[in-house]
Amino acid sequence: MQLTIHGPNLNKQNKGTFHVHTAGCRDNDREVKNNGSVDPYTAEFASRDEVASFIYADHMAEDPSASVADYVADFHFAPCCDALPFSTSAKAGKPRSQPKAAYKVKELKFDAKLVEQVAKRRAGGESLATIAKALKVTTGKAAMAELVATTPRVAVADPAKLARAVAKDRKAGASWGLLAARYGITEGTCRAAYTAASGQPWTSLDYRRKKAEPKPATKAVRPRRQAAKRTAKAKAAA
């Protein structure tokens, strides 16, 4: 199903950090005009789990204890998405559409109190899933709060220099959440900045796909019968 994803950092997030509509839904225009959606992303998805796995791939890799269900709660699927299954056994496909090269810098705004609470609990050894449940927020939001608390802020005023810095760090393996916390901009801005600097879609670097490690070479094992025959011949010759 072709879906359009709006967020994060929407004006109204009481239903979810991300709002999802079918690509042809008229409400997509309302999300942009009235709800602060910047550069909504449209692609083909087979299930709600797949949407969450795609958006939060970096966060999920950093916190293996969390399940996909923990992140699905971050998404509000509009009634036009009622036909979209909750999960599927099929592998997630890589979205083919490309974001726009031009981008607007949007400042990251985050709840300072939540950042302080998450940092304190993490220092006490609690998992993100436990913290999210205790503070009644999604796991994704708790993970982002931790990044904001622990990542040194880097200020880059020039959009062109910012785009190059984001692209360089992303190619070095930094997650979108980390980049947002580092430069004080939204994840959507980070993705758009990467495209503006590299000329490539922000999906071109997919760290969810790990290269298979080559298996060590093994010596061929001779069949037992051949070994037994050679042993018998050696004894006969002796």
Residue 222's pLDDT band (cuts 50, 70, 90): low
Structure tokens belonging to residue 221: 């094992």
pLDDT at position 230 is: 65
- Higher per-residue pLDDT: 55 or 21: 21
Global model pTM greater than 0.85: no
Is pLDDT of 177 > 70? Answer: yes
What is the 8-class DSSP label of residue 205? Answer: -
Q: How crowded is the C-beta side of 143, counted as CA atoms within 13 Å? A: 23
Q: Has residue 36 got a pLDDT over 60?
A: yes
Distance between CA atoms of 213 and 216, rounded to whole angstroms?
Answer: 9
Q: Give pLDDT, residue 58.
A: 74
DSSP states of 165-199 as a string? HHHHHHHTT--HHHHHHHHTB-HHHHHHHHHHHHS
